[in-house]
Amino acid sequence: MKHWTAEELWQYREGNVRGREKMAAHLEECAECREELERLDEVFAALDAMPVPDPGENYGTRVWRQIAPRLGEPRAKWWQEWFVPRHLAVAAGMAALAIVAFYFGRISKPTPAHLVDADAASTVRERVLVVAVGEHLGKSEMVLVELSNAQPAENGKKLINISSEQKRAENLVEENRLYRQTAVEGGDNAMASTLDELERVLLDVANSPSEVTPAQFEAMQKRIAERGILLKVRVVRQGLRSAETQRKAEPAEEESTKAKEKNKV
Amino acid sequence: MVRMRASGEQLEGVESSDAEAVARTLSGERDAYRVLVERHSQYVYRLAYRMTGNREDAEEVVQEAFLRAYQKLHQFAGNANFGTWVYRIAANYAIDRLRQRKSEDSRREQPKRAADGQAETDALDTMKDRAPSPERLAGSAQLAEKMKQALDTLTPAERTAIVMRHWDGCGIDEIAAVLKSSSTAAKNTVFRAVQKLRLALEPFAEPRGAARAAGTEL
């Protein structure tokens, strides 16, 4: 007669086993397996019998009193930060400036240059965003490369300290969320999708314990590799760089064409 | 997720008022966080005690969990359950504490072991040797003490896994998320913990054949 293994019996007890009826029938017949199952029951009964000292009825209030002096201002969600009084004042100031500029614009003689300036401002804003996203991707890539290239079992270490990478990932998550939202609003689905995937990986790192075992570290490296996020980040960064180089080249070409025309005249 | 949770309307009521307290805290009303702390401290404490095995460490875990939750509150998704979220933060912090304690203990023990010329062995092998006789384990207080000792021999991941699975009824996926491992690895971790505890309580029962664990044909 084949006896069930301890693991199979545990799975049976957990209710996660296929062929449950067959096992139940075997347990009816086999005293040894039944005894083994009872042994497992004893373990769980002993766990249940372990007391947890009552921290007292007002424990919650006590915890609050202990932590309240250490609480700073809670960090609001990024969009909520705009509704902080200080930010509202800045926004109101900017709006007032815009109204004044608009008013002077109306009373002064309009020239085509104004239209050119508006276009230029929009282009500058876009460029600033591209540079910022590029930098963000660069920083993220650095964290992921460091994690991917580290040797988990180096010097026979039992625990690997990733607190520095964890801290950096935590900061990058916030930035990433902001850029992802901007990409979604701007309809840049490819960018939004890459940033979404990057955010998951960064969150994974940020929410890890500060010290991990080599096995956990390897699992983390595997997750990073499986998602292919490093390659995706590099491709997007390269795309941003090429677009920026092209943009820089365009005004130079325009300038040279204008100069040629002028010379002809 | 966990056993301590009520069901139906009661649960819905608690969750909606949790969401309201979170929103008020995020809007700058710091005292609104007090509601969340008072409501969830008890069961976070139970988890922390079972994981750390002593009151002092458990209280530290509870405080740290609520402090971390407060600092990360902006990352908390509004549709999630605050209780589950803070429970996970506490479990993660408790794992860190346990690992720190283990590495401090091993640093302290290493010179002693070297002096005695003892080789490092697995806790699973040594557990039976250190076990007191069945007579000494007669009372339930002794049983609890024995179980406490057995729990102390588990690795932080094993201890987390068994506490989450057995006492709080968490699913394997939830345990995997806290352990940052795959579901299969999490399931193996729970089983490894069960096996170690089972061996630790062996003196209570008649000796069994070692072949059992392998499921040998007889």
Interchain proximity A3–B216, CB inside 8 Å: yes
Question: B122 falls in which pLDDT band (50, 70, 90)?
Answer: very low
Q: pLDDT tens digits for A212-231?
A: 778 778 888 887 887 788 88
Residue with token string 């020239």: A111
Q: Is A103 exposed, middle or buried (0-12, 13-18, 19+ CB in 10 A)?
A: exposed
Interchain proximity A211–B63, CB inside 8 Å: no
User: For residue A194, which of A244, A140, A132, A142 has the smallest C-alpha distance?
Assistant: A140
Q: What's the 3-state SS for A108-160?
A: CCCCHHHHHHHHHHHHHHHHHHHHHHHHHHHHHHHHHHHHHHCCCCHHHCCCE
CA distance A228 to A151: 19
CB of B79 within 8 Å of any CB in chain A? no
Interchain proximity B30–A210, CB inside 8 Å: no
Q: Enter the tokens of residue A40.
A: 């497992």
Q: Give DSSP secondary structure letters for B157-215.
A: HHHHHHIIIIIT---HHHHHHHHTS-HHHHHHHHHHHHHHHHHHTGGGS----GGGGGT
Q: Is the pLDDT of residue B154 over 70?
A: yes
Question: Closest Cα of chain A to B10: distance in Å?
Answer: 20
CB B38 within 8 A of CB B66: no
More confident residue, A101 or B213: A101
Least confident of A39-43, A171-175, B10-14, B101-105: B10-14
Phi and psi at residue A212, to the nearest 5°: -125, 155
Task: Choose from B107, B198, B202, B206 for mutation: most chain A CBs within 10 A.
Answer: B198
Q: Is the pLDDT of residue B135 over 80?
A: no
Q: What's the rounded mean pLDDT across residues A254-259?
A: 63
Closest alpha carbon within chain B to A71: B67
* pLDDT score for A169: 84
CA distance B14 to A149: 46
Q: Is the pLDDT of residue B9 over 90?
A: no
CA distance A179 to A199: 11
Question: A163 falls in which pLDDT band (50, 70, 90)?
Answer: confident
Interchain proximity B74–A77, CB inside 8 Å: yes
Q: What's the rounded mean pLDDT across residues B38-67?
A: 94
Grouping H, G, I as helix, E, B as strand and the rest as coil, residue B3 is coil
Residues pairing with A211 in the sheet: A161
CB B197 within 8 A of CB A47: yes
Q: What is the pTM of this model?
A: 0.52
Least confident of A158-167, A189-198, B101-110, B127-136: B127-136
Q: Is the pLDDT of residue B67 over 90?
A: yes
* pLDDT score for B64: 95
Interchain proximity A209–B99, CB inside 8 Å: yes
* pLDDT score for B186: 92
More confident residue, A164 or B35: B35
Average pLDDT over chain B reads 77
Least confident of A126-135, A240-249, B50-59, B137-146: B137-146
Residue with token string 């908390």: B76
Residue B133: which residues within 8 A CB-CB, separation 6 or more? B203
Least confident of A27-36, A61-70, A230-239: A230-239
Q: What's the rounded mean pLDDT across residues A115-139?
A: 74
Tell me B74's DSSP state: G
Select from B27, B147, B191 the Cβ nearest to the Cβ of A46: B147
Residue A101: which residues within 8 A CB-CB, separation 6 or more? none
CA distance A125 to B81: 39
Q: What's the rounded mean pLDDT across residues A237-250?
A: 76
Closest alpha carbon within chain B to A73: B28
Alpha helices in chain B (DSSP H): 8-26, 32-52, 55-71, 82-116, 123-130, 140-153, 156-162, 172-179, 183-200
Interchain proximity B26–A80, CB inside 8 Å: yes
C-alpha separations of B31 from A53, B22, B38 in Å: 28, 11, 11
Contacts of B173 in chain A (CB under 8 A): none
* pLDDT score for B42: 94
* pLDDT score for B119: 42
Contacts of B3 in chain A (CB under 8 A): none
Q: Enter the tokens of residue B88.
A: 């996970």
Q: Is the pLDDT of residue A127 over 80?
A: no
Select from B46, B185, B214 the Cβ nearest to the Cβ of A52: B46
Closest alpha carbon within chain A to B78: A77
* pLDDT score for A214: 81
CA distance B145 to B149: 6
Phi and psi at residue A260, to the nearest 5°: -65, -45
First to last CA, chain A: 105
CA distance B44 to B66: 9
C-alpha separations of A16 from A11, A28, B49, B76 in Å: 5, 19, 28, 32
Q: pLDDT tens digits for A66-125?
A: 999 888 765 555 555 555 555 566 567 667 767 776 666 666 655 555 555 666 666 666
What value does the CA radius of gyration of chain A take, rounded to a whole number of Å? 31
Q: Is the pLDDT of residue A133 over 70?
A: yes
pLDDT > 90 in chain A, percent? 5
Q: Enter the tokens of residue A17.
A: 């086993």
Question: A155 falls in which pLDDT band (50, 70, 90)?
Answer: low
Packed helices B140-153 and B123-130: angle between N→C axes, nearest 10 degrees? 150
* pLDDT score for A88: 61
More confident residue, A18 or A259: A18
User: For residue B193, which of B204, B179, B208 has the smallest C-alpha distance?
Assistant: B179
Q: What's the rounded mean pLDDT across residues A10-27?
A: 84
Average pLDDT over chain A reads 77
Interchain proximity A10–B42, CB inside 8 Å: no
